[in-house]
Structure 1
Amino acid sequence: VYHYAEPDKGELYQPFEVLPIATASFSDKVVIFADGNPKQIPVTVKAHADNLEGEIQLCHSEGWRVDDETKPFSISNKGDEQTIFFSLTPPEKEDESYMSPIVKINGKEITQELVTIAYDHIPTQKVLLPSEAKVVRLNIQKVGEHIGYIKGAGDEVPKSLEQIGYIVHIIDPNDISAGGLAKYDAIVLGIRAYNVVEELKFKQQFLFDYVKEGGNLIIQYNTAGRWNEQFENIAPYPLTLSRDRVTDENSEVQILASEHPVMNFPNRISLADFEGWEQERGLYFPSEWSKEFTPILSMKDSGEAAKKGSLLVAPYGKGNYIYTGLSFFRELPVGVSGAYKLFANMLSLGQNVDNNQTQVKR
């Protein structure tokens, strides 16, 4: 054990480590392919000894193709890293599988990555885990390109949307002004945005005006009872949040509005799209809403009453207001295909097929 001291932390201990001579890791643990085009896959090799030379192979499932199965690497110093890029092409049909690297040095094969766990309140720990990443081929359609995103308490939804081809613009709430939002095909508020972004209480009317003039506004879940009085009306119509949630990710889902555009355009959504969800269905669903809202789905945990507030859609002026407590912030980063298709439909609501463009609307 290595024992040392730092002025601000006192005595510290670093355990003796037994590591392979190299490890390899992916920067992205999930890679989404929205079409048949190849993507560059970076694999980082880290040396745990000096003067390493070898090869790295990218293993993948049948139907996936790489430009070169094996590529060389050379690292001079212990602790240094080298990133090697593979061009990975997906199959034509939808598919979910995993890829993994094999580091080959002097006849040895290494398939592990090194994960460092470092927090001030516990000793630093290093763990060797199998190195792998999920790859998902989606046959997904979308309308619109430019999405405005107002961050909430923190999530990976913007990065997930970029993986399927959207151009995501992070909006500073301080910059929201009259007419300034019209250039976006849709605007999304991150999880708990109304709970944590104080400035939104001054900008709510601008968001409603955006919808009224033809915009598409998507509000992800907020925590009931934790906002100021200014946010009692977070929707253009009466809407009451609750603590309703569905914790069983495999719970039965019923489609209440099968003919609604959000379930049909540009992707037809079926019950199969609710398979493979992780951790939960959703949380903090509204319990009451006005007649202007259409409840799209019904779901429940075992032994409980059905919850119909997970996805609510209401027309407002020329546009649409959507409130959802579905856990997209969990499902998109782990590559759940059905969640991607449903979110793409939400972003496309009210738009036409001629709306795809390469520049922000002026």
Structure 2
Amino acid sequence: MVGYRVHGERAEVAITPTRFLAVLPDVSVRAEPSATLLNTAGGRGSVGVSVVLRNHRPEAAAGSVRYELPRGWRSDPAEHAFHLDARGTVTTVHFDLQPPKDAPCGDYRIAVAASGEGWRSNRSVRTIEYDHIGRTYVVAPSEVRVVAFPWAVDPVRVGYVASGFDSVPEFLEQMGFNVTLLGHEDLLLGDLAAFDTIVLGVYAYRSRPDLVAANQRLLRYVEDGGHLVVQLHRPGDNWDPDTVPPYRLVIGQPSFNWRITDESAPVTVLQPNHRLFNAPNRISESDWGGWRKDRGLYFPMEWATEYQPLLSMSDPGWEPMQGGMLLARYGKGTYLYTSLILYYQLEQYVPGAFRLMANMVSYPAGDR
């Protein structure tokens, strides 16, 4: 509101600012990555993290930055000195966070803060700018989330067909898998036998025409001894139930009848001695805890007898569904279809989802 006087009379005019007004810290601090894993199996190791500092003051800023560690943790170095010249100057510093050897499993939130003469900041600043909304800012506490739990992976070579709908490859790499993203030429002309396991991203047949064209090559890869993991698809994702999978597999319709929306729905492992639930990680009831949003979506409603259902689950008051994980032998190899929304659980850093995904990807040739 702008006020003024004319001949002794006061008038006020409401004016909409052309730019968003924000109160920003002197120096913003952003932890990178914002979340990461710590394997508590066979020693604790260390966690490599960084801090990105940006000067929001008109003059230079200098100080030091450090992580505020849980009891018993160490940081190398303990702190970093920095100097930022004019407004907008950015620098990045690196730390190695070292937990104690007996650090318990858990979800650690480790704050980071910078300080200088007369100021202290533990806030990150994210700038959002579009033509239709202008510029705005999101100011939030700065921390790194370290999720600590035990897991193991087998030394398999993994090819991943990315769909653009998930970030699974980066999580597989965090767990220790050697992952190669498969492009157009890889699918149509490459040596698929170079990979022990190939994983198809969520809805991959929808977004990858080259995958549709290479489907018969993938089935031959399985027939020759490969292991193919197919994550959930919808009926409209170029999914032909008679030609895409090795044996008939029909995704349920209407879709709202073929999902498990209760993230805590009880899960029954139909074959608890199966290798998929025992190696390299022994899957227990606790691995089904802490899931978010849903158990699974787009469950199959019909499948050929060659598929072996491995899980059963249901929403309260509904009949159990057994299409959450289907495994079939095809020639010398194996075809594994899952409707579990593992991709989302990985994004939420749910430990049991990582352990289960590790087993699915590691499924060894000797047990196929």
TM-score, with normalisation over the residues of structure 1?
Answer: 0.88
Identify the residue that residue 7 of structure 1 maps to in structure 2.
none
Identify the residue that residue 227 of structure 1 maps to in structure 2.
238
Distance 1:249 1:120, change over 3 A: farther
Give CA deviations for 1:250-300 in whole Å, capped at 9, x if unaligned.
222222221111011111001100111122212111111122212222222
Identify the residue that residue 190 of structure 1 maps to in structure 2.
201
The answer to whether the Cα contact below 8 Å between 1:233 and 1:239 also exists between their aligned partners in 2 is no
Residue type of the partner of 2:107? E
Pair 1:75 & 2:84 matched: yes
Counting matched residue pairs gives 343
Describe the SS at the equivalent of 1:176. helix
Residue type of the partner of 2:80? K
1:92-241 alignment runs, 5 A limit: 92=101, 93-177=104-188, 180-227=191-238, 229=240, 232-241=242-251
Distance 1:250 1:122, change over 3 A: farther
Describe the SS at the equivalent of 1:284. coil
1:1-362 alignment runs, 5 A limit: 13-34=18-39, 36-49=44-57, 50-92=59-101, 93-177=104-188, 180-227=191-238, 229=240, 232-242=242-252, 243=255, 244-351=258-365
> How high is the sequence identity, in percent, across the aligned residues?
34
The answer to whether the Cα contact below 8 Å between 2:233 and 2:239 also exists between their aligned partners in 1 is no
Residue type of the partner of 1:51? A
The answer to whether the Cα contact below 8 Å between 2:188 and 2:213 also exists between their aligned partners in 1 is no
Larger displacement relative to structure 2 (250-259 or 75-84): 250-259
Identify the residue that residue 360 of structure 1 maps to in structure 2.
none
TM-score, with normalisation over the residues of structure 2?
Answer: 0.87
User: Which segments of 5 or more consecutive residues in structure 2 lack a partner in the other structure?
Assistant: 2-15
User: Which segments of 5 or more consecutive residues in structure 1 lack a partner in the other structure?
Assistant: 2-10, 354-362
Describe the SS at the equivalent of 2:21. coil
Deviation of 1:228 (Å): 6.3
| CA–CA distance in structure 2, aligned partners of residues 148 and 83 of structure 1 | 32
Describe the SS at the equivalent of 1:96. strand
Residue type of the partner of 1:248? D
Describe the SS at the equivalent of 2:336. strand
| CA–CA distance in structure 1, aligned partners of residues 89 and 31 of structure 2 | 16
| CA–CA distance in structure 2, aligned partners of residues 109 and 351 of structure 1 | 55
Deviation of 1:116 (Å): 2.1
Distance 1:176 1:127, change over 3 A: closer
Distance 1:124 1:352, change over 3 A: farther
| CA–CA distance in structure 1, aligned partners of residues 339 and 164 of structure 2 | 15
Task: State the 4+ residue runs in structure 1 displaced beyond 6 angstroms.
Answer: none
The answer to whether the Cα contact below 8 Å between 1:111 and 1:130 also exists between their aligned partners in 2 is yes
RMSD value, Cα: 2.3
Give CA deviations for 1:100-136 in whole Å, capped at 9, x if unaligned.
1011122533211112233444333202111122112
Describe the SS at the equivalent of 2:259. strand
Distance 1:209 1:222, change over 3 A: same
Residue type of the partner of 1:46? R
| CA–CA distance in structure 2, aligned partners of residues 24 and 171 of structure 1 | 36
Deviation of 1:191 (Å): 0.7
Distance 1:270 1:216, change over 3 A: same
| CA–CA distance in structure 2, aligned partners of residues 345 and 137 of structure 1 | 18
The answer to whether the Cα contact below 8 Å between 2:163 and 2:202 also exists between their aligned partners in 1 is yes
Distance 1:65 1:279, change over 3 A: farther
The answer to whether the Cα contact below 8 Å between 1:34 and 1:165 also exists between their aligned partners in 2 is no
Distance 1:116 1:179, change over 3 A: closer
Residue type of the partner of 2:202? I
